[in-house]
Every structure is written in C-alpha cells, then in structure tokens.
Structure 1
Amino acid sequence: MIGAGFVRTIGSSRRAIAWGTATAIGVFSLFGVVTGLIPNPLYVRMVPRTAVDYLFLVSTALLAGVYAAQRVATTVPGGDRTSPSKNEDRVMMGGLVGGFLAVGCPICNVFLLALFSSSALMTYFDPLRPLLGVFSVALLAGLIHLRHRRTCSVCEP
C-alpha cells in the first residue's frame, strides 16, 4: 500500500510526475508495438493476444512509471548515485525484460528463436509466460516497496 508520505513526496515534484508518466507511456507504447499487442502494420503477432498479456503490459508499464517517478523524486539534485542505485536499476531492468518476455510472442522473438526451436518455445516457454509475468510484476512491485521503505523519511514512525 502506498503511504501518504510517498504521495506527498511524488506530489511535490512535477518533474517526477512528468518522468513517471513519460516512462509509463513509453514502456506501454514500446512493448505494445514491438510485441504486437497494439496492432500495427510493422509487426504481425503469430500467437493470439490474451487478456493476461494486456494485464502484464499495463502492470509493467505502470510499475516502471512509478519507479521512474520515485527515483526522480528521491534523487538529490547533484547528489551521489552510489552502488545501491545501480543495483536497483539492474533489478528494474530484469523486471522489464521479464515483463517484455511475458507479453511477447514466443515464436516471434528472434533471440529466443535463435536459442530454441519454435516447437520447443511453444511447448515449454509459452505455458510459462504467465508465471514469468507474475514474477516480473512481483519483482518490480517489491523493488518499489523496498525503495519506498528506505527513502521515505516521512513514513517512518
């Protein structure tokens, strides 16, 4: 649950809200177009779209936006970006990659297709995509929660 201190921290920075909104829209648009969840003439999806794909797309985009807003709001201008932030960024990228793989067409992904055959992807990887989506959303939400607990001085008792 998002505390009142977090809302005040984010609400006090229009820059943070702008970055968060731009990030969420960017992730949604990029992942949606590249995976074919947003129909477009550049890409034809070979696996049918499901409601779960859209759920993970929206969740991943929203969580990426919240992370970006949180990161901008809690970074001191000219401040030190130390190794914990780099580790958090790595976890965030892992969550985004997992979210992308969870919503993507498994037999259209060139990287996966180069590693495995299309029949292996449909047999073994496609049934695991929802689990990958749950894991990536949980990873992103957990990162946001831990970062909130560490950086929110107003919320501590």
Structure 2
Amino acid sequence: MLDVLRAWSPRRWWAALGAAAVTVLVVAVPTAMLPTPVFGREIPTTWWAWPVLAVTAALSGLLFATYVREPGAAAAEPTVDRRGFAGGLLAFFAVGCPVCNKVVLLALGYAGALQWFAPVQPVLAVAGVALLAWALRARLRGEVSCAVPEPPPTTTTTTRSAAGRV
C-alpha cells in the first residue's frame, strides 16, 4: 500500500491535505475543541481527543484522495465506501462533549451522559479510527488490483448447409 501512496501525484496529495484540514474544522468546531463564539463545551476536552482528531483527519484526507482521479486516467465507476463515513461519524461523537450532544442528553439525561456515554467515547474513537483505516486499506488495495484482460475476439465461424451438415 505504501507503493500506491508513493505513486500519487501532487494533485492527490494536495487533495488529501485539503480534506484533512476540512475534517479538522468539521469535527473540532462543532465539538468546541477549537473555541468559537458559536459553540461551547461544559466538559473540558480529554487528553486523547486531540490525537484521535489528528489520526481521523489524516485517514479521512487520505481516503478522500483515493477518490481523486488522476489526469488522463480512465474513468472508473466510483464505489463509495460507507465505512469511511461511519468512521468519521464515530470519531465525531468520540471527541465531542458528552453532555453537549443533544441526542445523548435526550436519551440518557445529564447524569446518564456522564455515567454511560462518557466512558464509551474512547471505544467509539478506536472504532472510528479502525473503520477509517479499513476503508482506506480497501481503497488502496483496489488501486493495485490487476485489471482483467478482455478475451480475444472469436474468429471461428461455422456454416451449416441446407442438410444440416457442417
């Protein structure tokens, strides 16, 4: 898989870098890891949330870049891997404030979010990173798979006579 990454053009690397930066913003701003006047956080960011965000952004950027077509390459039918989306979503919930998530608050309440959801967040982080890595591995392996050659055209033709003989 490293050979595939080494063969990438600058176009793909720039796409990976841009997608990683967008991932950081999409995850860190609404979860208030990056302070903004719009979003607040009642529980401080955990020590492990920053490495999870960095790994999530890197994997998401690389995964995004696998969908960037090289100039002059034949257009292949794109297959979207939902594991990458699921991994990013899990990482989003993992690094977020446990009591700032409205769905968790509605389902568990404030005390339940702290007692039940907060301890599960590291598991969500590991699962999210694992799904992103799995999706990236599948996409990179697909880039090195061998193309199936087309069968040669058949040139043998048979004719039948009126009597049915060949």
Equivalent residue for 2:59? 63
| TM-score (normalised: structure 2) | 0.78
Letter in 2 for 1:20: A
Q: Could you tell me which of 53, 76, 79 is aligned with 1:79?
A: 76
Verify the 8 A CA contact 1:46 1:105 in the aligned structure 2.
yes
Letter in 2 for 1:61: A
* 2:95 counterpart of 1:95: no
Letter in 2 for 1:112: V
Long gaps (5+) in structure 1: none
Equivalent residue for 2:5? 6
More helix by share: 1
Taking a change above 3 Å as real, the CA distance of residues 56 and 144 of structure 1, as seen in their structure-2 partners, is: same
Verify the 8 A CA contact 1:6 1:152 in the aligned structure 2.
no
Give the superposition deviation at 1:53: 0.7
Long gaps (5+) in structure 2: 147-166
Distance 1:18 1:153 in 2: 24
Letter in 2 for 1:115: A
Distance 2:125 2:144 in 1: 28
Q: Could you tell me which of 135, 145, 148 is aligned with 1:143?
A: 135
* Secondary structure of 2:77's aligned partner: coil
Distance 2:4 2:34 in 1: 36
Give the superposition deviation at 1:146: 2.0
Verify the 8 A CA contact 2:104 2:117 in the aligned structure 1.
no
Verify the 8 A CA contact 2:4 2:143 in the aligned structure 1.
no
| TM-score (normalised: structure 1) | 0.83
* Secondary structure of 1:122's aligned partner: helix
Verify the 8 A CA contact 2:4 2:140 in the aligned structure 1.
no
Q: RMSD value over aligned CA atoms?
A: 2.1
The count of residues paired between Structure 1 and Structure 2 equals 145
Equivalent residue for 2:28? 32
Q: Could you tell me which of 21, 30, 47 is aligned with 2:17?
A: 21
